[in-house]
Amino acid sequence: MRNIRLKYRYDGSLFFGFQRQIDKRTVQGEIEKFLEIVLKEKVNMISSGRTDRGVHALIQVSNFLTSSTIPLDKLQYVLNRSLPQDIDIIEIDEVDMQFNSRFDAGKRGYRYIISWDKDPFKSRYETYINKEVEITKFKNILSPLVGVHDFNNFRMSDCGSKTSIREIYSIDVVPYGDKRVAIDIIGSSFLKSQIRIIIGTALDIYFGLRSSNYIEEMLANPKKDFIKRVAPPNGLYLTMVDYEGGNNGI
């Protein structure tokens, strides 16, 4: 038996999210389907995390167990020839049997791209708003989220995580070309749609739709219901999965 690790990227535009679903096109479902054809056995991928429908990944990490002895270079070649164009296998290697892509990941990073330059050819890859975002002001709105908090108000109601305690290590807001900003968030792990709720809430505060201390109130009162604004998925990318201090991101 071998434990095989995959590193890959994907355009999430035409997927119903990452996680395998019956009769729906998903990233996990597509990769497992072709792995099973090549390896001639059932495959169950363990992955660093799950992305929502329409969310992209510049790096995703999964592992699976197999009894196949196929050379890894051949496996990568066959997969990339077989998989649809919106999935690309970057690297395949054999790892220790104890390695687990989900539980061994120490940090995960996401990037959210906001644009105030309407461009139909980029509409799947950034979120358009009709007003400029000033970097310092937006970063100040997000700054209270850094640290260990109960993020119960920053997850979807169907989130299956047993605890909503998470740590965000850093949040940065940087220019991203002309009339665009990128928000980079690094944390231990994230709840379902947590990043999108963070961005949506911050945009509401920025444009005066919520009070300036709304995020602080959401953090201070995790059992109280607050209005959640979920930002669109198309501007969001999984950009980094870190194992034992080794940055496996882009």
Active-site amino acid positions: 52
Distance between CA atoms of residues 171 and 176, nearest Å: 15
Distance between CA atoms of residues 240 and 250, nearest Å: 6
